[in-house]
Chain A
Amino acid sequence: MQRKVRDNKAWFLVLPVFILVAFSAIVPIMTVVNYSVQDIFDQNTAYFVGAEWYREMLRNPALLDSLGRQFFFSFSVLAIEVPLGIAIALVMPTKGRMAAVSLILVAIPLLIPWNVVGTIWQIFSRADIGLFGYAVNALGIDYNYTSDPTAAWLTVLLMDVWHWTPLIALLCYSGLRAIPEAFYQAARIDRASKWAIFRHIQLPRLKSVLVIGVLLRFMDSFMIYTEPFVLTGGGPGNSTTFLSQALTQMAIGQFDIGPAAAFSLIYYLIVLLVCYAFFTAINQLDKAK
């Protein structure tokens, strides 16, 4: 049971942030909502269409495909990056000079800007001049990410795994370092196996950082734009066109402001729901502590 709050004056301290958020988020969202119910031709010509754009967007097969692709991509990314990040954190040295060296090496991909990552992988994966593409083809595997959707998907996934697994690894590394030595001593006295130590000591203690890591990676992968846009341009066909790219094409490429506003609000609601689920999970974990 929470104690009753007797003095609410501290809420006035939140006022500056509220004003800032109002200008940076609330007013723009209100504008998007206004756009989403109108057919906008220019600044002075707009016709009210009600919920028509929402209906059209929710029944648009191309956008629903993008949504499906987006969920599949985000879950694939999590399924690979989380176990891999934990594994890397577990084998990283904890003491001596190598600990610092490994931390720097692991962190390097995180420091590279998104568009540069896309360019690196675009060149790296090319079958004619790229080391990775050339090597895979030399092994007898027909690999060309510009014409084969499966190869394009694998390349985008591989690129994301290379770019963002270090984040999970570093979060887990910090979580592992926070486990008191006494826990390991107790495990040694009990002659616990490495798996038992991982299962009963390390993994439960990593829960909090993993929830934050999964949240960050889900949100980021769900809003991915730059890397696949630079690497594949959404192709071949629409096979790697994710939500952000489909939305950008609609809003800026075709200048369909009304439908794009409706779809961006649907997108926002999905992100909001997932955020709330994770926020609740983090709160529950804190309470359990």
Chain B
Amino acid sequence: MNWMAWTGVTATFFSVIGCILIFMTILEIKSPTLEKKGFLPIATTRGDKLFISLISAAYIHLGFLALVDTVLWVALCISVLWSAVVFRWG
């Protein structure tokens, strides 16, 4: 695995993503999702909401990196809040 140049931070990042995917898969088996229409312009499933949350988080972080010089914890907090809003009302 040395050729993949792993670091602690990236390993943690992918582990968290992997855990989320496993959790969502188990949840889907236990309780299959239904499409719902919230404030987002399309009807979404739980998987759609996860994808929207993750891609939004990526863009929020990129926005912070491009425009602001503060630490990325602020971007992370905003991303988590936004994800919660998407999952609850999206």
Q: Which residues of A contact B (CB under 8 A)?
A: 1-2, 4-5, 8, 27, 30-31, 33-35, 37-38, 40, 43, 46, 48, 50-51, 54-55, 58-59, 266, 269, 272-273, 276, 280, 284
B42 touches A284 (CB 8 A): yes
Check B5 against A34 for contact (C-beta < 8 Å).
yes
- Report how far A269 CA is from B66 CA in the complex, Å: 15
> Which of B4, B29, B51, B65 has a CB less than 8 Å from the CB of A34?
B4
Residue of A nearest to B44 (CB): A280
* B62 close to A (CB within 8 Å): yes
Q: Do A31 and B5 have beta carbons less than 8 Å apart? A: yes
The number of inter-chain residue pairs (CB within 8 angstroms) is: 61
B contact residues, range: 20 to 34
Nearest CB of chain A from residue B87's CB, rounded to whole Å: 17
Q: Are B66 and A58 in touch, CB under 8 angstroms?
A: yes
Cα A209 to Cα B9 in complex, Å, equals: 43
Contact between B3 and A43, CB atoms less than 8 A apart: yes
- In Å, the complex CA distance between A43 and B5 comes to 8
Residues on B facing A (Cβ under 8 Å) = 2-7, 9-10, 13-14, 28-29, 32, 34-35, 42, 51, 55, 58-59, 61-62, 65-66, 72
A54 touches B62 (CB 8 A): yes
* Distance of A43 Cα from B32 Cα, bound (Å): 45
User: 18 A-B contacts, Cβ less than 8 Å apart?
Assistant: A2-B34, A8-B29, A27-B4, A30-B10, A31-B5, A33-B10, A33-B13, A34-B4, A34-B6, A43-B2, A50-B9, A55-B66, A58-B65, A58-B66, A269-B55, A269-B58, A276-B55, A284-B42
Residues of chain A within 8 A of B58, CB atoms compared: 269
Q: How far is the CA of A149 from the CA of B8 in the complex (A)?
A: 46
